[in-house]
Amino acid sequence: MGRVSFLGNLWRGGSPKYDFDSGGASYVVELTKRNPVVSLTKQGAAVGHLRVNLSWQMRTSDFDEPGRRRSGSLLRHPGKLFKPEVVQAQGPAMVNVDLDLACMYELKDGTKGVVQPLGNFLGDLNGPPFVKLSGDDRFGSGSGETLYVNLDHRDEFKRLLIFVYIYDGTPAFDRTHAVVTLYPTTGPRMEIKLDERAPQARSCAVFTLENGKDGLTVRREVKYVYGFQAELDRLYGWGLQWGRGYKSQV
């Protein structure tokens, strides 16, 4: 429900209002190491707006074992069994994690670039690169961060790399329980979980969207690196120039 209301409130105010199709399927396909590839073209979903959502929940670390909970407290408040706890470091300090969703793009005409909150490179849906970021969620709310890809311009794309990075706070991909979900116009939505162990990793290449001889194909990557965009760039041979950037304070 939260995701639907989020879409309803998107682009309010002085900005033009866009309508996005969230897909009609109610079931989910999880992209895994064994089953990493889905063809959007073959399932008739290579049109309209592909919605890519990043959401996460901060939970307790490995240092806070479930057995340490007091049974008396749970008996008095059974609802706590189903509530995620705030992430804790070893000791009293909080773990603060700020995940960002982003995309490197390469178009057929050779244009390359990035869509990301850092530097306010939010993209454009109706003009190049035909990718737009909805906003920057720093708290892992129900709506999370969302990226839109205009597949009506699929012939302009060569490849996209959707990635997630931890701009600020403790590197803790395995404790944020992050999930990237793809909502095509038709067919099932696709989930990619980012909960593998990668101590100190700052960035993760989540999936690629490539326009090849077989049409548009989504391929799960889930490759962690210990640096930021420049390291992902080298890994996938993008060839962009990177400099130190900062996000505006809220």
**pLDDT score for 249:** 44
- Select from 178, 147, 159 the least CA-distant residue to 217: 159
Q: Helices then strands (H, E): number in the chain?
A: 4, 13
Q: Is the entire prediction scored with pTM above 0.85?
A: no
- pLDDT tens for the chain, 250 residues long, are 333 332 323 333 333 333 333 444 568 999 999 999 999 999 999 999 999 999 887 655 444 444 443 444 444 555 544 444 444 434 434 556 778 999 999 999 999 999 998 888 999 999 999 999 986 444 444 456 899 999 999 999 999 999 999 877 667 787 778 899 999 999 899 999 998 888 788 999 999 999 998 899 999 999 999 988 999 999 999 999 887 655 444 3
DSSP bridge partners of 211 = 216
For residue 29, what are the CA distances in angstroms to 38, 94, 143?
A: 9, 34, 20
Segments making up each domain of the chain, as ranges = 2-11+21-59+92-236
How much is the CA Rg of the chain, to the nearest whole Å? Answer: 19
Q: Which fold has domain 2-11+21-59+92-236?
A: Lipoxygenase-1 (2.60.60)
Residue type for position 123? G
**pLDDT score for 160:** 98
Q: What is the DSSP letter of 97?
A: E
With contact defined as beta carbons under 8 Å apart, do 192 and 206 qualify?
yes
What is the torsion angle, in degrees rounded to the nearest 10, for the CA atoms of residue 187, residue 26, residue 183 and residue 3? Answer: 160
For residue 239, what are the CA distances in angstroms to 59, 92, 225, 246?
A: 37, 43, 17, 21
Q: What is the DSSP letter of 239?
A: -
SS (H, E, C) 192-227: EEECCCCCCCCEEEEEEEEEECCEEEEEEEEEEECC
Q: Residue 50, Cα to own-chain centre: how many angstroms?
A: 13
With contact defined as beta carbons under 8 Å apart, do 203 and 163 qualify?
yes
